Structure 1
Amino acid sequence: MKYSMDIIKRNERLSIWNGAASIISQSFMMGFIPLFAIQVLGASNFQVGLISSMPSFMTMLAMIPGAIWINRLELKKAFTGYSIFAARFGLFLISLIPFIPYTNQAWILVVFIGLLNFPNALATLSWQSFIGDLIPDERRGKFFSERSQILTIVGMITTFITGALLNIFDKTDPSPYQWIFLIGFLFGIVEVYYLLRHIEVKKVEKKQSGISWKMVSGIFKHKPYLSFLICAIIFNFGWQMAWPLFNIYQINDAHATAFWISVFTVANQISQILSYKWWGRFSDRYGNTMMLFVASVGIGTAPFLTILSTNLYYLTLVNLWTGAFVAGTVMLLFNQLLRVSPEENRTTFLANYNFLIALMGCIAPQVGVWLLELYGIQSAMTFSSVIRWLGAFSFLIVVYIEFNSKRKQKALKKPSVSV
């Protein structure tokens, strides 16, 4: 059953409120967990790398059972809501870590990060499938660019205020972190509330009973999806391997405080806000894949530019520069994933993508930390830039192949002239 325009617009409004609560909750975790781990719990480089890898590892474990469960669901809203609640409950658990009498509490954090990311992976997969059903293809570009812009503003304000407040306290004091994690959990409840208010209609077609080998093998025969998948894997490896390196460099080398971490994030988000509509407009004109090339080239400059200086004002400018490309990359990867995933068996296509990207996310941060230990931060960050650029040019190759394919199809359709 197709949704009426009134229902679509209602769901879009609710999705924005749901996303706003989500971004507040996630800003507390994603923005300040590394600082909490290093300065409060005394985490080592290896443990910081694990904090980046554990979400991806748990995503891998969640994808297969998650896809089976979601494929069997006639309605996805409740499952998504329960998964989100379980994931946000992890923030409450993290707030309790300083009370646990254990000498190396950083390991407890690593375990908790892993636990909360199992339901988080299920929530991500089910939300992607859920929202893909609710928002028609022709509205996705405009809607997701506007939604992302609003959510980035919310995240920016949240991060800046939180960073400024944390800066008032001693950097080794756990209590302010405990409060922000607890507040993040409460916003997770608000997130679930708005998600459950979406209107979802049962599909007429017969629900799928599970994932068969024929279904999985068919995924890799779908050429648009396969091409996108290969490019995304290469790019994500280079992208994710530097995630722990940025935290280590900013905190240990540049000696950034909570305030400066929030300044970096805000600078990054300001340029995201200003560029979302630009990416949406140009992707409509030139295509998602071509603009993914542009965005990923820009993302590739981030590690290389970062290591040129430890000056905090300079690092703020670097984040201002790269934020625009982060906006394009995140939005275009998701839009292109939905575009190349057929509506039939979409959950299976999404699960396969999330599984393989999670595999990269599990391996890449450890490779980044390994290179850091062997060759130092300069070499590790430079290698990340190189891999990101390889991924970028793989998108360009796909554009070239698609262009040649369309040109040949036009030539074949051209009527021949008889004499």
Structure 2
Amino acid sequence: MEDQVPTLSRAEMERAMRISVIDGMLASASENMIGPFLALCALAMGASKGQIGLLSALPAFLSNILQIPAARFTENRGERQKLVVVTSGLSRLTIIPIVLTPVLLKGDAAIYTFIFFVTLRGFINSIGVPGWTSLMADITPRSIRGSYFGYRNIMCNLAALVGTLVAGWFIERAGYPRGYQLSFSAALILGLLSSYYFSTIPKVPWLRQGKSQRRFMGLREGWQAVSQYTAFRNYCFTSILWNFGVTFSGALFSVYFRENLGGDPGFWGVVTASGLIAGVFGHRYWGRLADQFGQKNVMLAGGVGAASVPFLWWILPRWELAVVAEFISGFCWAGYNLAAFNLILEITPDEGRTTYVGIYNTLAGLASSVGPLVGGFLADSIGLPAVIVISGVLRWVGYFVFKHNVPVSADVQMTWRDLIPFSQELRLLRKQLEQRDNDSSLSQ
């Protein structure tokens, strides 16, 4: 007989979801005061495009090869919440040497030390990711996941917007290195507050694997786990191609903005903020569609824009218009990311979910680590514009492979008409008016 999945009481679940929103807001503000500006800071330190690619690739590579061991460790220990709190807190403390590196060291020594601590930050944080994903599934009822995470993401984007604008203001006012140090230090404080709030979430009961299952998963067992569920297997493999294409140029847009378009580094905060503002509107819009039409349909609709982002950047005539490209990007990525997160929760089993999430993150993450490395070194040899175009082509290939190879039978068919805001309400109103006209004609 199957084990029953333990759950929180309704009051505890509501409290957990409220705390998760606060934690997410603090984490988003923290991350957006450091993440979008790491490449620009490295550029100011004298880093090459290849080194910028390394700055993005190394954290992704080392973080994601750890996903399956981290998932198994979490399954064995059974202390998801404690693990997330400890790893997130330690990863945020690595911001201290990141802040000090530009002051204490110069030249390549400074650049590679900077890359090391940024990598260490991502590496430590990644240990808690499978447990965090599994825990989020347990505190949110399946029926409202789309709307809840839509709301949560709206609040996170608002907090990220404030954090980004403040960081941009620091950098514009104080310049390099002081502006970056002020922004990164604020990120440290907000990040530690986020870890504290996460620790106050009510302890979530957890269906753990039996002792016979809790052992190290080798290559054969990993392949069997991937192959057991067709949708999960195909999603993993299509994500490899998609993530490679996305990260091929993703870390280099800020460099393209600065070097090819001649943009002001301080204005990069405004560019990033425009994407966050679009995300606020996007999450509410896409969350409703996800609950109604399913996750895959929303990923396909949002993916059209996400796959086209490199071409938008490629045709920009002036750096001021980067705001427009980022706004469109933020709106489309809001839908894609929201649905992608919910889809992985839907196609993985309740028992052993952390392991399946770890497998997915490892496969997708390895592609995400190779992408910026190849893209960065190619940018040094053939130029950034060519790399951006190649990224767009790879994204579209990944899009169509996902569309035709990941079966999700429960989704309701969605047409492009359904993407029009208030289209359902307008159709309902029209039906009511037609019904009223019919009733009137019958009464006559």
TM-score (normalizing by structure 1): 0.91
Post-superposition offset of 1:215: 4.6
Partner residue in 1 for 2:143: 138
CA distance in 1, matches of 2:158, 2:56: 24
8 Å CA contact 2:53–2:251 kept in 1: the answer is yes
Q: For this pair of structures, how many residues does the alignment match?
A: 403
Segments of structure 2 that go 5 or more residues without pairing to the other structure are 1-5, 414-444
2:60 aligned with 1:27, yes or no?
A: no
- Taking the TM superposition and a 5 Å limit, the aligned residue runs for 1:17-416 are 17-39=22-44, 41-104=45-108, 105-170=110-175, 173-203=176-206, 209-213=214-218, 215-216=221-222, 217-398=224-405
8 Å CA contact 2:33–2:183 kept in 1: the answer is yes
CA distance in 2, matches of 1:109, 1:125: 27
Evaluate the alpha carbon distance shift between residue 196 and residue 405 of structure 1 in structure 2; reply closer, same or farther with a 3 A threshold: closer
| Secondary structure of 2:253's aligned partner | helix
How high is the sequence identity, in percent, across the aligned residues?
24
| Secondary structure of 1:28's aligned partner | coil
Evaluate the alpha carbon distance shift between residue 309 and residue 212 of structure 1 in structure 2; reply closer, same or farther with a 3 A threshold: closer
8 Å CA contact 2:135–2:204 kept in 1: the answer is no
Post-superposition offset of 1:240: 1.0
Evaluate the alpha carbon distance shift between residue 289 and residue 405 of structure 1 in structure 2; reply closer, same or farther with a 3 A threshold: closer
Evaluate the alpha carbon distance shift between residue 128 and residue 309 of structure 1 in structure 2; reply closer, same or farther with a 3 A threshold: same
CA distance in 2, matches of 1:373, 1:71: 43
Post-superposition offset of 1:289: 1.2
AA aligned to 2:112 is: W
Q: CA RMSD in A?
A: 2.1
CA distance in 2, matches of 1:28, 1:320: 19
Partner deviation per Cα, 1:69-127 (whole Å, 9 max, x = no partner): 10112231111100001111111120110232343211111111111111111122221
AA aligned to 2:138 is: D
Evaluate the alpha carbon distance shift between residue 255 and residue 224 of structure 1 in structure 2; reply closer, same or farther with a 3 A threshold: same
CA distance in 2, matches of 1:382, 1:204: 46
Partner residue in 1 for 2:423: none
AA aligned to 2:328 is: W
AA aligned to 1:366 is: L
CA distance in 2, matches of 1:110, 1:327: 28
Post-superposition offset of 1:247: 2.0
TM-score (normalizing by structure 2): 0.86
Evaluate the alpha carbon distance shift between residue 102 and residue 260 of structure 1 in structure 2; reply closer, same or farther with a 3 A threshold: closer
AA aligned to 1:89 is: L
Partner deviation per Cα, 1:172-200 (whole Å, 9 max, x = no partner): x3122112212211112101110110011
8 Å CA contact 1:368–1:380 kept in 2: the answer is yes
- Tell me which of 9, 24, 29 is aligned to 2:14: 9
Segments of structure 1 that go 5 or more residues without pairing to the other structure are 408-419
AA aligned to 2:206 is: K
CA distance in 2, matches of 1:402, 1:112: 40
CA distance in 1, matches of 2:396, 2:39: 26
Partner deviation per Cα, 1:360-400 (whole Å, 9 max, x = no partner): 1111112212332333222211111111111212232146x
CA distance in 1, matches of 2:251, 2:57: 9
CA distance in 2, matches of 1:142, 1:241: 31
8 Å CA contact 1:242–1:365 kept in 2: the answer is yes
Partner deviation per Cα, 1:261-290 (whole Å, 9 max, x = no partner): 011111111111111122112122322112
CA distance in 1, matches of 2:208, 2:250: 42
8 Å CA contact 2:80–2:128 kept in 1: the answer is no
| Secondary structure of 1:242's aligned partner | helix
Greater Cα shift, 337-346 or 180-189: 180-189
Partner residue in 2 for 1:416: none
Post-superposition offset of 1:307: 1.6
CA distance in 2, matches of 1:283, 1:120: 29
